[in-house]
Amino acid sequence: MNLPFAHRVIFSEDEIADRVQELGREITAFYKERQGPAASVVIVSMLKGAFVFLADLMRYIELDLSVDFMAISSYGATDTKSGVRIEKDLSGSIYNQNVMIVEDIIDTGLTLSYILRNLKSRAPAEIKICTLLDRAVARIAPIEIDYRGFEVGREFFIGYGLDYRQKWRNLKYICSPEGLEEENGESVLALFGDP
Ligand code: PRP
């Protein structure tokens, strides 16, 4: 797909596919080693960004697996996210279950620290965390990540689920658009404005 703005490919379709398969195998091996062939996990994923990664990853996890979704919105400045609101809650119980949270990117960690507190209050057996991208350099709330695809820097990313103003999630690769400027504390593609 041709993008109407300059960009740099950060992770190609093949690089992503290879890493996702590795993660799926590692996750499968971990649970099987610990719990045997009947190992089970409930994957909890945050809409919307993680759905592309999740769809690929889960096909490489060979376990008794179910999937549930949450949608959340945060408010307040990006670096404080003073509050997180649950727009859509899980549809099932996670009581006494092995839960794995699947995210596309962990940035400040503020969203996930809220979600972790919330999910822990439902008494799951345990919670593991898997993220495709880990922007550790931006972390404010410490998060222990069990599985990470790639560690990344401060660039802005789009593609493979990640959006710019809700667009470009459908790219098969992850890239960094050039010509991004700050306007009122928000990133704006200087050449194109609102897509
Ligand atoms: C992204 C990502 C995480 C959150 C991480 O979601 O999917 O949920 O931000 O940021 P944090 O670590 O700084 O809290 P986003 O708000 O972009 O929504 P989306 O998933 O719908 O794209």
Full-model pTM: 0.92
Q: Is residue 45 within 6 Å of ligand 1 at its C-beta?
A: no
More reliable by pLDDT, 2 or 56: 56
Q: Is residue 115 within 6 Å of ligand 1 at its C-beta?
A: no
At residue 195, the pLDDT reads 45
Q: Is residue 110 within 6 Å of ligand 1 at its C-beta?
A: yes
Residue 3's pLDDT band (cuts 50, 70, 90): confident
Domain parsing of the chain, residue ranges: 6-76+84-191
**CATH fold for the domain made of 6-76+84-191:** Rossmann fold (3.40.50)
**Most confident range, picked from 72-86, 156-170, 175-189:** 156-170
Span 25-51, average pLDDT: 94
* Among 14, 18, 107, 163, the one annotated catalytic: 107
Span 157-165, average pLDDT: 95
Ligand 1 center to residue 38 CA distance, Å?
33
Q: Whose C-alpha lies nearest to ligand 1, atom 20?
A: 49
SS (H, E, C) the chain: CCCCCCEEEEECHHHHHHHHHHHHHHHHHHHHHHHHHHCEEEEEEEECCCHHHHHHHHCCCCCEEEEEEEEEEEECCCCCCCEEEEEECCCCCCCCCEEEEEEEEECCCHHHHHHHHHHHCCCCCEEEEEEEEECHHHCCCCCCCCEEEEECCCCCCEECCECECCECCCCCCEEEECCEEEECCEEEECCCCCC
- Among residues of the chain, what percentage have pLDDT more than 90? 78
User: Is residue 194 predicted with pLDDT exceeding 70?
Assistant: no
Q: Which of 102, 104, 163, 164 to mutate to test the pocket of ligand 1 (most atoms within 8 A of CB)?
A: 104
Summarised one tens digit per residue, pLDDT across range 50-85 is 999 999 999 999 999 999 999 998 776 666 666 788
At residue 193, the pLDDT reads 46
Q: Is residue 48 within 6 Å of ligand 1 at its C-beta?
A: yes
Q: Is residue 42 within 6 Å of ligand 1 at its C-beta?
A: no
Catalytic, 107? Answer: yes
At residue 27, the pLDDT reads 97
Q: Whose C-alpha lies nearest to ligand 1, atom 15?
A: 49
User: Is residue 111 predicted with pLDDT exceeding 70?
Assistant: yes
At residue 181, the pLDDT reads 74
